[in-house]
Amino acid sequence: MRFQETKINGVWIVEPERHEDHRGFFARAWCQKESEAHAISSQIAQINVGFTIEKGGLRGLHFQLPPHEETKTVRCVRGAMFDVAVDLRPNSPTYKQWVGVELSAENHRALCIPEGCAHGCQTLEENTEFLYSTSVLYAAQAARGFRYDDPAFGIAWPLSVSSISDGDRNWPEFEDVAVVREASAWSS
């Protein structure tokens, strides 16, 4: 596995090291030892699947408050998507900055998103499916989010939004909510 650092501490792009032959290839998609060597939580409490029919469909920006904060590892298994991590850790030098990367069934990349970061994604192709593992179980009482188009972050989504849930459309803007204070336990 090859780990590529991003500008946000703890956010990694992971590419498999492919071992190819006439049948195709084989590669590790996850490794506890290598994850821990890059300070990525090796705990897997849940694996989720997402499927979006429309190109331009958007999900996010989602996160969980302490003590239910989660590390996510996201991989696209069909189609293609633009995956985003936003740093919400007030003591981080990249506070409120974002990183986006294309994940696809073709490039086999994964994005590792640490605790204290929000996650969102937009499909680049119709019928896109992705898997993501989380380090803790989903806790509805700790689930929060911010608007995908929040000017505090300035995310440059690659496409116009073709579909979004009412819940994701109605998340508050970052500067308007007390949730920022709730998350102050996060460290960089």
**Helices of type H across the chain:** 32-37, 166-169, 179-182
pLDDT attached to residue 188: 45
Mean pLDDT value across the chain? 90
- Quick check: is 132 catalytic? yes
CATH match for 2-185 among 2.60.120.10, 3.30.70.20, 3.40.50.920, 3.40.50.10490? 2.60.120.10
pLDDT attached to residue 48: 96
pLDDT attached to residue 135: 94
Measure the CA–CA gap between 116 and 130, rounded to whole angstroms.
Answer: 22
Query: Looking at 22, 62, 68, 148, which residue is catalytic?
Result: 62
Domain ranges of the chain: 2-185
Measure the CA–CA gap between 86 and 97, rounded to whole angstroms.
Answer: 6
Highest mean pLDDT among 20-34, 119-133, 166-180: 119-133
- Quick check: is 62 catalytic? yes
Q: Which helix (H) or strand (E) holds 85?
A: strand 80-87
Mean local confidence (pLDDT), 57-85: 96
103 CB contacts (<8 Å, ≥6 apart)? 74, 75, 76, 80, 81, 82, 83, 109, 110, 111, 130
